[in-house]
Every structure is written in C-alpha cells, then in structure tokens.
Amino acid sequence: MEITYKNNMVKKVCTQYSEAVKTHGDRVAIKLHTRLREIQSADTVEEMILYRIGRCHRLEGPMKGQYAMDLGQPYRLVFKKTDKDGRCVRILSIEDYH
C-alpha cells in the first residue's frame, strides 16, 4: 500500500526513528515502525482487518471512517483510506483516543 501523512510533523515521527523515540518512547517507536512496514506490505486495508494485522480495526462514533492499529497500550496508529480500493492510506495521528 501507499502511505501519505496528514502533515510534516506526523511524517517526521513516522519516517525518522529517532524522532519517534523522542516523541513517544522506544517501545512505541519500535511498534510504530513495525506497523508501517505491515501497512506497506499489505494489499488493502480490508486485508489487514481480515487477518488482524496489528489488530487493525474500524473506528466508530466521531472517528467513523478511520482505522487504528495497536502500538502498545494506550497508543494507536490512526489512519484513513484515501482511495475507494483501500490501497492508499493517510496516517493521521499517533494517539490515545480512549
């Protein structure tokens, strides 16, 4: 899949390991970069949901239309599809939305 980012700050955390460690700590940084490789390797978002890759799941309520993957309690990688086929995603945030 193709990955884009909501803004330069999110891109920096997702593409530079040292920035991810500085912002979220070593444990979350490792998981974040693992999840990004999993997204790149998958064909579609639906495939990730079907096979529970990274515990990928649809969000509901005010975040309806978005998806999340676990990064270690309580953080999640939040993204949305940017095409109808689910082959392109935009990373929105790394957050604790609970």
pLDDT band at 97 (very low <50, low <70, confident <90, very high): confident
The domain limits of the chain are 2-95
Q: Which pLDDT belongs to residue 57?
A: 96
CB count in 10 Å sphere of residue 27: 13
> What confidence score (pLDDT) does residue 69 get?
97
Distance of CA 41 to the CA centre of its chain: 13
- Average pLDDT for the chain: 95
pLDDT at 98 over 80: no
Q: What is the pLDDT of residue 78?
A: 98
DSSP string, 34-56: HHHHHHHH-S-HHHHHHTTGGG-
d(CA 67, CA 13): 19
Is residue 19 helix, strand or coil? helix
Q: What is the CATH number of domain 2-95?
A: 3.30.2310.20
Percent of the chain with pLDDT over 90: 91
pLDDT of 45-88, one tens digit each?
A: 999 999 999 999 999 999 999 999 999 889 999 999 999 888 99
The confidence score (pLDDT) of residue 51 equals 96
Residues 6+ apart with CB under 8 A from 31: 70, 71, 72
